[in-house]
Structure 1
Amino acid sequence: DRSSDTWRPLETKNDVAGSVSTTIRQGGIYAVRYGETGESAPGGLLGLLFGAVQTFFGLFGFTSTGEEPGLAPAAEPTPDPGLILPEPTTPPAAIDITAMRFDLSVLSDPPGALIDLDGEYTGRTTPATFEALSGGIHMVRVRMEGAGPVEREILLERDDEVVVEVPGGASPGLLRTWEQNHYGGVYVDSFPEGADIYVDGRKVNRKTPEIIYGLKEGLHTIKVKKETTAFSSDRERVWIERNAVVRVMFSSGTVELTRSITFESEEYAQKPFSINGRYLGDRFPKTVEVRGFGGSYITVYDGESYRMHKISTAAQSNDTVKVAFSDAPCNLSVTSVPSGATISIDGFLTKFSTPYVINNISEGKHLIGVSKPGYIPTEREVFLMDHSKDGTVKFILDPYAWGSLEVSSTPAAARIYLFGRDTGEVTPHTFHYLDIGSYSVKVVGKSGSKTFEDVIVAPYSTTGCYANFAAD
């Protein structure tokens, strides 16, 4: 023991392999020798023990100076040929988080705010999820009419979310599961007004004009009837997109002539197309009904561009037309009041909201529509030309009074029906932006079904509807 310049006996233990171990309980610098007669520590394993003692107590801030005054010099440790020492380890490399990818959800209360990411408008509104963003610091800003912008800086090092409160009016909440919805709606109008509305052959307790919200995404048939009124077409097929509302208009007048034409395109085989700005889920090749003769057109969407082709008046019923589409050099700036309305081109819902410039549109006629939750959708035809500047179109949206309907059940996972149709949702689920009024709600579970008549959805509040199948 260096502190007392004396040798002290240590208690040792032997294991079955012949190794000798001991414990020194106080920090310091020590020399070790082995044997009752005080011989120096031998080579091999015991020599390694001496080296280990020196190394261990060096961790306490003491440094071995080699030969100690008054002490016998320690024997040089000799490695034991049978002992395998660990290889020196290399410190792990620093993780470059910017090379990793994460998802970022942006939510606001109320929803519908414009989202800027790292200083640029994304063309999207809250709630929205941005996938596969690079890790690191990002700046998120949300904007809404009547309120100043709100900014948040976030270190993205995992899948994360940003929640922002924006001063505003009535709100359904954050709508965390909004992008998981399976339903949308249709705004049914007529001239004259007051026509009874039928959805997929079933009369609903609504008259035109009316928002029918809660229809499962996909193809539906809308029909209207009014005494003493003959409509040019009393039924229309519509394609419902989730979280959006499409507009359909019925006008009185003579019945329009239609042609049944088969459209083919080798270049765009299996790509979706629309007729006269109305997308109905059709893909090439397909036989469809074309209403009217002059001014009819077909538009194909290839995932990047919107290309139209004017349908010849010479094409007759039962003809097959091989369509050749033009280039798409035009751009269109779409704005609305309020902003944040989802934009559609010829019936194809884009991923962008106003104000935004939609690129890659062909020359000619196009039907532009906008839809925003809580507002009546609107649309307008535009004619684009290549040699002109970017086209522009602006919409003014009118609000409607809406409420929410919360449907739950015991047990859960029961199917929910509105307007006599499956909504695509199961309990528990809350429907937002329903037009106020009376609803018939049907809940279908494994053991049966329950129908609730006259469920009243009140303005800007939530109405509950509960089905208990456990008691059956």
Structure 2
Amino acid sequence: MATTDLFGQYRLIERIAEGGMGEVFKAKLLREGGFEKIVAVKRLLPALSTRPGFETHFRNEARLAARLNHNNIVHVFDFGKVSETLFIAMEYVDGVDLGSVLAALRERNERLPAALALLVAIEICRGLDYAHRLADEQNHPLKLIHRDISPSNILLSCEGEVKLADFGIASVQTDATQDDVIAGKLAYLAPEQARGEPLDRRTDIYAVGLVLYEMLCGQRARPASLPDKELMVRVESGVIEFPADPAMSDDVVALVRKAASPDKAGRYATAREMQNDVQRVYDRLKVEQKEDLPALFVRLFPDRFTERCGAPERTILATQRIARPLAAEATPPASAEPAPAAAATPTPAAALPSPSSRFRWAWVFAVALLAALAATGYWRWALAGATLEVRSTPPGARIWIDGKDAGRVAPAALDVDAETPFSLRLTLLYHEDYETTFSLLRGETRIAEATLARSLQPCRLETTPPGARVFLNDKLLDGATPIDLGEIPLGEKHVLRVEKDKYVPLQTEFILERKEEGVKTLAYALQDLFKRLTVEADPSEAAVFVDGRRLAGPSPFTVDDLLPGRAVRVVVSMEGYSSEMQDVVPEELDGPLRIALKPFAADLSVGAPEGAVVSVNGEAKGASAHLDDAHKDVQLIAVSVPGGKLSLRVKVAQARDAAGRFLPEATMNIDAQPWARFSLDGGPAQTTPASGKTIRAGRHSLRFSLGGQGPDQTLTLTLR
């Protein structure tokens, strides 16, 4: 790309990456006075900003990412929108991502040296530990998690540095390119991510375990070549298998297994704990490091890095920089809000000298300059003006003089007209404006210090239905909805939890972006914890049972304490009608469940043994008989066989079962000429005559022997 391509205040030098969200460029930040700085600019696809809520979500996440200031995390300098294109400007890392290094090693059938693998893991954990512990200005933990740690998001520089990229905007990428993320990142998801469960810092630790596995084993724990279903099964199980490798010590395997435990409770509780464990393994094994990162770059990518990484004075051994003593690190300071795109450009800490050195050289330069000016007579001319040093708490406030943008942010020193009154106004996102007036004498230097109060928005919460308990940032408020939430600070993440009996608890996070006139009302509709089912039965006097529990009637029948997503069994019955039974999931119904019963009817089929003749009510039917409407009268059934006859007097009626259904039931009196020994459905042997024998709906067998001596014969009875 030509160096004349401008994007806002950035000159795009070359495209260095592209993906589902957009493109990443090496760019140069241009400012007045010849100021230039090399940065990386991620330019998002214009279509993304048109998605509902995407731009707000992007700005919120980028604002959080800009708080991070650590050597092992890629710094975010700026973010905003040029025309219709969202962008984020980041620290430019002169190097390559870990994924490219591992791919190049696989092509050579090599692995990353164990020393480098352990040291890279130490640096990743160091950056994660800082981010996980970061707090806001009130020292409230921000509870940041990366969500998307993979080799492609771990950058390695020519100076031997290890930096974690895309911290804080992983959720933006997931929303923007869900299909790409699932296809490319599934191999590094923790089981709880795949199952849609709540995430915490241990989710990141699981991903670090998988990255360490890949560095040590030379292959992914979950090969991308697996079919999607099999890959998803492996992701949800969380279990990884180590290849047989005698060169890999038990200590190394144990720490990877702990980091990538399927159960969150079995993992390292913090990144610091894992960092210390990796360091102890490294020290105990006394791993020999034969190659550092710059040397590895030159060997794997000679065309790209021989000139940039090959010079001895630029090469820093990874062991010298990475494996420093594990002294306790201070808790990250509460970070100030970053200014949006128009704010003064911050400079990475690694590019600046120490404060004492910087100020010492500034004074030396100032003294020399003043001496030169005095010699030329310029000093007398300069006394015609004055200097105003503007400082703000928090820093970064934009400076306005007499209502005009001065193009500077505090802290800054401004030349102003002497003995002429002027107004000073300071503005900062999410803060109240500060305004005052000054009049300075000739040659005077005055310090203007201002503390900008955080903007507050009065808020009120309403719920449908009302009467819910409210927790704001884990604190239970007095009273119930509708309720005043008080004055909510702008630009901060707040957690709101609403609870009411018999309703699903609601928890949401919100950030107020701008102050509105009056009281801002937040409104939420609560979902029923239990589902309701209404049954309309015909006849209306029928009995209705839900999972064996009889409902009070008459129709319509209602039950309102059913668990969501669960099927229930509904039985409608009434004497004189055939019962109906259905299994339903209440929330899948569009309205009431309507069930109409039909008048009771029963059929009886009789099958005789070979050579027998069946008669029904004196009429011969042959070897078998079928009786429609068998319930209307007493049925006289005779089965003639060689040597005698078996007689059945059958009365069919209704009987209710345990589920509440009315089913056909037949009562039989059994006789024979001569007498017979019989067994009903394999029961004990009995002799005729016998009365009151019952059978219910289904197929039954009556085994009999005339006179107790003839061969056993079987009669089948099927009642429907």
Range class of TM-score, shorter chain? under 0.3
Could you tell me the TM-score, scaled by structure 2's length? 0.16
| Higher strand proportion | 1
How does the TM-score come out when normalised to structure 1? 0.22
- Higher RCO (CA 8 Å, separation ≥ 6 residues): 1
Q: Which has the higher helix share?
A: 2
